[in-house]
Every structure is written in C-alpha cells, then in structure tokens.
C-alpha cells in the first residue's frame, strides 16, 4: 500500500507539472490566433478608439506572460472568464451543464463498450482461428476503422430515418433536463461504442491469445484444471491487465469522438460547445474547453495507470527477492 501511495503522489506531481505546461501551451496556441479579440467583441462597425479602449481595459496590451498569469490564476480559483461570443455570459454558467451532458454520454458509451469488448475479445481469443473468432475479429476491424460520424450516419439512417425509434437530432427542449430526454443519448453513445469496441476487443483478443499460449496456462492445464477454470481463474486476470492500459490510452480517442458525435447529432455537450467556440473564435471558451478535456484525459490515464499497478502483483509487491 505504501508503494502505491508513493506512486500515486509521484503521478499526481507529474500530472500537475504536465497540466501547468499544457495550460501554457493551450494559452499560447489560442492567443496567437489571427484576429483581434476586442474587434470581435465590438463588431466590425466599432471605431478604432473604442477598440483601443477595450484592449486597454481588458489588458490585451499587456505582455503574454502577464496575461497568462491572470488567466491561470482565475482558472485555479474556478473563474474561467466570460464568453466573448455570448457577451457577458460567464463560461462557468454554460460550460458545466454541457460537461454534465457529455459525461452522461461518455459514461453510457463506457458502460456499454467496456464489458462488451472485453467479453467478445476474450471469446475471440479463446476460440482463436475458429469461425467465432473470425466473425468477431472482422466485425471489430470494421467498426474500428469507421470514424464515429460514419457509423453514426449509418445508425441514423437505420434507427432514426427508417425505424424512427430515436430522434435524428439530439435536442433537449428548453426547460427540460437531459434525464427527461435520455433517448437522445442512445444513438450517439452507440456510435462511440462501435469505434471503441473494435479497438479494445482486438487488443483484448491478442492479449488473451498471448496469455493462453503462455507457460503458466500450459502448466495449469497440465495440472488437470478444467479448461473453463483455467480461463477464468488463471488467464482472465492476466489478459485483462493490459486492456486497462489500452482503455486509458483510448480515452483520448473517446474525447475526439465526442466532439465528432456531438456535432453529428447536435448533442448539447462539451464537444459541440468547443466546436461552436472554434467557429465563433470565442477565445476564453476555447481555452476553457481544451483545458478541461486535457484535465479529464490526464486524470483518466492516471487512474488507469494506478489501477494497473494495483492489480498487478508484480508491481504491487516489487522488490524483496529477485
């Protein structure tokens, strides 16, 4: 346990360092954006004096580092600034509701694809080179290769246009919350699931195959343990360890996927918000969204890393004798 705690603290430290550097990079990226923020706020018709005055008032003429300092100190205390496009609206008031929607979407997808892809990956691995394996593997290859918006379009055509089971566009009527409109989550979640399923089930399959070919599985079989028992008690845990890392690494794809899927379905989440922010060149909003994605992504990678070490006795009980 002490080792784990140590590792957790070390990881947390490097996470914070990454985030500090990252926040600066994000800030830099967005600040060098062509176009003048003050001009954008006031519109094309504003006089030069007015623009200059606003620049001065917002501190846009200050050196880069000073502006970064101001921004980041706001971020640390939870003040993400105001949106430019939606004038005067604080980012906090729009962002968190949408983040909530995205998290519901991501969690729904997560709950579907993790058990599903592990199950089918293990199944394909156990039945290596048999028809079951070929079908699962090909299906996985195909869904993995499809960008979310392509599988999304196919899902829409089938389930929304033809069968009319789900809406084509994911809109939450004004005044209602997402919980009253959960049917809008289904199709977006499925399109994310498909991509993730392909990737993770294939990884799970190959790790299952390599475990099944290992010496200790041979040893367990030759101890007379029944095949089912060997698979569940001896193989499964070792074969799932690498999958944890893979899932963590793919959280990045998942977030990229969110942006695409939310745009396709018009889902009111963080991804489509980011997309709008980019289109309207809403600097503070872009910064807030990207920073948040980075934080969520980094934290989820860290969690998977720690889980991996916790579940792997070779790391948990390192040291002692060779």
Residues of span 179-238 touching another protein by CB under 8 A: 214-216, 218-227, 229, 233-234, 237-238
Length of the chain: 322
Binding status of residue 159 toward another protein by CB under 8 A: no
Q: How far is CA 280 from the centre of its chain?
A: 23
Q: Which of residues 114 and 150 has its CB atom nearest to another protein in the complex? A: 150
Q: At what angle do helices 236-265 and 270-279 cross, to 10 degrees?
A: 50
Closest C-alpha to 37, from 85, 1, 99: 85
Q: What is the DSSP letter of 180?
A: G
CB 124 within 8 A of CB 132: yes
Which of 38, 113, 136, 148 is in the footprint of another protein by CB under 8 A?
148
Residue 317 interacts with another protein (CB under 8 A)? Answer: yes
User: Which residue of 91, 124, 194, 264 would you call a contact of another protein, by CB under 8 A?
Assistant: 264
Alpha-carbon distances of 164 from 155, 183, 206, rounded to whole Å: 11, 12, 38
SS3 235: helix
In three-state secondary structure terms, 29 is: helix
Classify 90 as helix, strand or coil: strand
**Helices 183-212 and 131-145, packing angle to 10 deg:** 130
Q: Least CB distance from residue 141 to another protein, whole Å?
A: 5
For another protein, which residue of 49, 77, 175, 322 counts as binding (CB under 8 A)? 322
x/- track of binding to another protein for residues 243-262 (CB under 8 A): ---------xxxxxx-xx--
Binding mask 162-181 for another protein (x = CB under 8 A): ------x-------------
Span of 69-77, 104-112, 174-182, 279-287 interacting with another protein by CB under 8 A: 279-287
Largest alpha-carbon pair distance within the chain?
Answer: 87
CB 49, min distance to another protein, A: 28
Give the separation between CA 105 and CA 107, rounded to whole angstroms.
6
Tell which one of 16, 107, 154, 182 touches another protein (CB under 8 A).
154
Closest CB to another protein among residues 96, 138: 138
Residue 63 within binding range of another protein, rule CB under 8 A: no
Task: Report the residue number, 86 or 150, with the smaller CB distance to another protein.
Answer: 150
Of 89, 145, 165, 176, the residue at the interface with another protein (CB under 8 A) is 145
Shortest reach from residue 162's CB to another protein, in Å: 9
Q: What whole-number distance in Å separates Cα of residue 28 and Cα of residue 18?
A: 15
Residue closer to another protein by CB (options 50, 72) is: 72
Candidates 42, 72, 144, 172; binder of another protein (CB under 8 A) is 144
| Binds another protein (CB under 8 A): choice among 274, 284, 285, 288 | 274
Q: Within a 13 Å sphere around the CA of 26, how many CA atoms are in the beta-carbon half?
A: 21
Please name every residue paired with 82 in a beta bridge, in sequence order, or none if there are none: 90
Tell which residue, 101, 97, 278, 293, has the closest CA to residue 189.
101
């Amino acid at each position: 346990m002490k080792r784990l705690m140590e590792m957790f603290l070390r990881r947390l430290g490097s996470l914070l360092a990454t985030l500090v550097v990252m926040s600066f990079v994000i800030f830099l990226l967005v600040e060098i954006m062509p176009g003048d923020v003050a001009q954008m706020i006031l519109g094309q018709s504003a006089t030069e004096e007015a623009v200059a005055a606003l620049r001065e008032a917002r501190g846009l003429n200050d050196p880069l580092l000073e502006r970064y300092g101001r921004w980041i100190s706001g971020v640390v205390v939870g003040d993400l600034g105001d949106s430019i496009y939606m004038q005067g609206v604080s980012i906090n008031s729009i962002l968190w509701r949408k983040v909530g929607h995205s998290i519901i979407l991501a969690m729904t997808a997560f709950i579907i694809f993790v058990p599903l892809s592990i199950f089918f990956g293990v199944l394909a691995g156990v039945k290596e080179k048999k028809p079951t394996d070929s079908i699962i593997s090909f299906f996985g290859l195909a869904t993995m290769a499809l960008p979310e918006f392509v599988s999304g379009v196919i899902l829409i055509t089938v389930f929304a246009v033809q069968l009319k089971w789900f809406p084509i566009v994911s809109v939450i009527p004004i005044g209602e919350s997402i919980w009253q409109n959960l049917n809008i989550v289904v199709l977006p979640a499925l399109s994310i699931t498909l991509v993730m399923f392909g990737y993770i089930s294939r990884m799970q399959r190959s790790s299952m195959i390599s475990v099944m070919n290992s010496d200790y599985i041979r040893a367990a079989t030759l101890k007379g343990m029944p095949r089912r028992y060997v698979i569940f008690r001896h193989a499964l845990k070792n074969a799932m360890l690498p999958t944890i890392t893979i899932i963590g690494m793919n959280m990045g794809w998942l977030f990229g996927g969110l942006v695409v899927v939310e745009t396709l379905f018009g889902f009111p989440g963080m991804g489509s918000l980011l997309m709008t922010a980019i289109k309207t060149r809403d600097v503070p909003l872009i910064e807030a969204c990207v920073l948040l994605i980075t934080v969520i992504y980094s934290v989820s990678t860290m969690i998977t890393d720690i889980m991996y070490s916790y579940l792997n006795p070779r790391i948990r009980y390192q040291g002692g004798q060779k």
